[in-house]
Amino acid sequence: MMAGVSANADAQRSAAPPPELGRAARRSASWTIAHTADEADRPSGSQSIQRALVLLNLVGVLARDRPEGVSLAELTRVSGRPKASVRRVLVALVAEGYVEQDPGTACYRLGLQAGVLGELAGHRADDLGEASTDSLIRIADTSTDTTFLTVRHGSYGVCTRRQEGPGPIRNYALAVGDRHPLGIGAGSLAVLSALSDDDIDDVLASTATTRGHYPGFDDETLRGLVRRSRRDGYALNDGRVIAGSWALGVPVHDAAGRPVAALSVAGIAERFDPPQCDELAALLHTEARSIHAALTRSQESRPVRGRP
Amino acid sequence: MMAGVSANADAQRSAAPPPELGRAARRSASWTIAHTADEADRPSGSQSIQRALVLLNLVGVLARDRPEGVSLAELTRVSGRPKASVRRVLVALVAEGYVEQDPGTACYRLGLQAGVLGELAGHRADDLGEASTDSLIRIADTSTDTTFLTVRHGSYGVCTRRQEGPGPIRNYALAVGDRHPLGIGAGSLAVLSALSDDDIDDVLASTATTRGHYPGFDDETLRGLVRRSRRDGYALNDGRVIAGSWALGVPVHDAAGRPVAALSVAGIAERFDPPQCDELAALLHTEARSIHAALTRSQESRPVRGRP
DNA sequence: CGCAACGGTCCATATTGTGGACCACGGATC
DNA sequence: GATCCGTGGTCCACAATATGGACCGTTGCG
């Protein structure tokens, strides 16, 4: 019990360009990495719910580029949980409409309610998303690379926006919905580096077991990366998550000055030699400041508590 | 236990126009109506999950027009469940990021993950939503009233789209995310009327207890409404859900010919005398056929199963 | 024809979620 | 300022609930 829970994201990001992979190339994940706040410190009585929510997210992420959906087998494999459990949860999710099952293939994908929830959530004032879209587009256009918005959630970073640049190179290392411990990836590292030393200690402690599944991201390495990021003024991911995929990120601060998100740009290694890095960082910083300003504005223009 | 579970929707749709309601006017719901498939027939082993999902939806619906969020008290009241339970579930939802709690007011609203899920779900091929947007806009424009897309989910209908017309009158009887048993409301009734008699029997049986909370929608009344709808060629809701709020709906059939959704238009009673009804019905039918055609097209242009 | 992988089901077990009772707080009202 | 109500939040004995290993029926490959 309480072993490796759940899973995630780019475990299995199918290499898209070559459609010629033999059937031998298993699409399934070979590692199961945690997808949620470290399971250990959960005090309370709701693990079935937490498992369900994690699985829901997992269905969304895995089925993202597959209209067919995800197979039960793959979900059990990736989530690292017994098949019967996964299925029981899936049945519940289907019953509520958050997941639907393809009657033909028996595969699972997000359902009606997931869309409704999104509609409801989108309708809500999503200040950050709102404020960042323009910036993302501008960055993607001028850099010609793929741009991301990573939002801090506890000790983890969640990719909430992704904007393709006009360039020919597509990046599959990060997609909307992916979640990684703070420090893994450029945007995530940018947020981490912007935290206080005390907060960093907490984060590292909290994500320790999760990070066990990311080779080469032990505490010391991460602290080193934080130091470098602070010195340089930007966070650089030199291909340590996925070989050959580099990225550069800077933090975004909310109205209260807390680093709540990050902008990042990803591309191939060749695009990240020092002079280009500085140029990119300047661009990102400008946009990050612009988002911060927008957040500040929208904050003070809403002192309304309760009804007029 | 297993008494009235959960709740919904337009229980408490605050009358928006008059901002001058004394503090005496409680905003909270006074009735708790079921929000999910009838709880009785749930085979099992996942009621905590189902409760969590229902609550999640509830947070979304109730907090829709309130950036502040919903209070714990209101959620317990509307959901009809013990406060401790509601809170425990909310904590789990918050921990996973699907709900967030305003640190100032302690109110709950949809969180980051809800938006992510929506993004993921929207990215998915949402044929129906895609095919209907244009139609909804056209109907709203020509009718000058508010137009809805209601999707069938089991024995219930869920409002998934809503398009305001240019007219001055706003309708607050139905909003995205609301769920009612089939037969309650114009669109919902349109779907029901398009089902086979056997299916209608099943639906009525399945929603019997739920409909207990909708006064004046017993089996006989509904069968009568179905007969009338079939005769007229459209479903008319003559203000029986919310007094003064009338609506007219027609079913939408998928590629296989099954009634999976409905288009409907809502407005004040004065706009629904027989000649206008026929005119409206004709308009809706045209658009319904157009959506059906689009669905058929998108269906046959996607025979791709598996990878090339 | 066996083998492996698939989706799906069963059911004894104890872990998990349950919810009534309780506390502290804040703002009306007397 | 004493009293009341409603709020958000916590506790914990209890048993209903979720759990997951074992199992079944199919399918498709070698």
For the stretch B63-98, pLDDT in tens is 887 888 999 999 999 999 999 999 999 999 999 999
Q: How confident is the model at residue A39 (pLDDT cuts 50, 70, 90)?
A: very low
> CA–C1' distance A45–D13 (Å)?
15
What pLDDT is attached to residue A3?
33
Burial category of A300 from C-beta neighbours within 10 Å (exposed 0-12, middle 13-18, buried 19 and up): exposed
What pLDDT is attached to residue A175?
86
* Residues B4-37: tens digit of each pLDDT: 333 344 333 433 333 322 232 333 333 444 444 4
* Residues A184-226: tens digit of each pLDDT: 999 999 999 999 999 999 999 988 888 988 889 999 999 999 9
Q: Which residue type does A206 have?
A: S
Share of chain B above pLDDT 90, in %: 50
Indicate the average pLDDT of chain B.
82
Q: Which residues of B touch A126 (CB under 8 A)?
A: 115
Domain ranges, ordered by start, for chain B: 1-121, 125-299
Interface of A with B in 31-60 (CB under 8 A): 36-37, 42, 44-46, 48-50, 52-54, 56-57, 60
Q: How confident is the model at residue A123 (pLDDT cuts 50, 70, 90)?
A: low
For the domain with range A1-115, which CATH number is right: 1.10.645.10, 3.40.50.300, 1.10.10.10, 1.10.150.20?
1.10.10.10
What pLDDT is attached to residue B304?
39
Place of tokens 């029986």: B240
CB-CB under 8 Å, B37 with A105? no
Q: How confident is the model at residue A110 (pLDDT cuts 50, 70, 90)?
A: very high
Contacts of A200 by beta carbon, 8 Å cutoff, 6+ apart: A192, A223, A226
Please check whether residue A136 is in contact with residue A249, taking contact to mean a CB–CB distance below 8 angstroms: no
Q: How confident is the model at residue A129 (pLDDT cuts 50, 70, 90)?
A: confident
B87 touches strand D (CB under 7 A): yes
Please check whether residue B14 is in contact with residue B64, taking contact to mean a CB–CB distance below 8 angstroms: no
Cα-atom radius of gyration of chain B, to the nearest Å?
20
* Residues B184-228: tens digit of each pLDDT: 999 999 999 999 999 999 999 988 888 988 989 999 999 999 999
Q: What is the mean pLDDT of residues A94-115?
A: 91
Nearest to A120 among B97, B113, B177 (CB): B177
* Residues B278-294: tens digit of each pLDDT: 999 999 999 999 999 99
Mean pLDDT is highest, among A16-30, B38-52, B70-84, B109-123, for B70-84
What pLDDT is attached to residue A195?
97
CB-CB under 8 Å, A120 with B176? yes
Q: How far apart are CA A11 and CA A25, in angstroms?
A: 14
Count of H helices and E strands in chain A?
A: 10, 8
User: What positions of strand D are covered by protein, i.e. any atom < 7 Å from a CB?
Assistant: 6-12, 16-22
- For domain B125-299, give the CATH number: 3.30.450.40
Nearest to A64 among B37, B67, B120 (CB): B120
Q: Does B129 touch chain A (CB under 8 A)?
A: yes
Q: Which nucleotide is nearest to B108 (CA to C1')?
A: D8
> In B24-117, where do the E strands start and end?
99-101, 108-110
Q: What is the mean pLDDT of residues A227-233?
A: 97
Q: How far apart are CA A92 and CA B47, in angstroms?
A: 8
pLDDT at A305 over 70: no
Q: Does A66 touch chain B (CB under 8 A)?
A: no
What pLDDT is attached to residue B18?
32
Nearest to A153 among B52, B112, B308 (CB): B112
What pLDDT is attached to residue B235?
97
Q: Look at the alpha carbons of A153, A133, A188, A200 in this order and tell me if their dihedral is positive or negative.
A: negative
CATH 1.10.10.10 fits B1-121, yes or no: yes
Of A residues 71-110, those with CB within 7 angstroms of nucleic strand C are 71-74, 76, 83-84, 87, 101, 106-107
Per CATH, the architecture of A124-299 is what?
Answer: 2-Layer Sandwich (3.30)
Share of chain B above pLDDT 70, in %: 80
Q: Which residues of B touch A97 (CB under 8 A)?
A: 153-154, 158
Spell A236-274 as b/e; 16+ CB within 10 A means b. bbeebbbeebbbbbbbbbbbeeebbbbbbbbbeeebbee
Q: Does B180 touch chain A (CB under 8 A)?
A: no
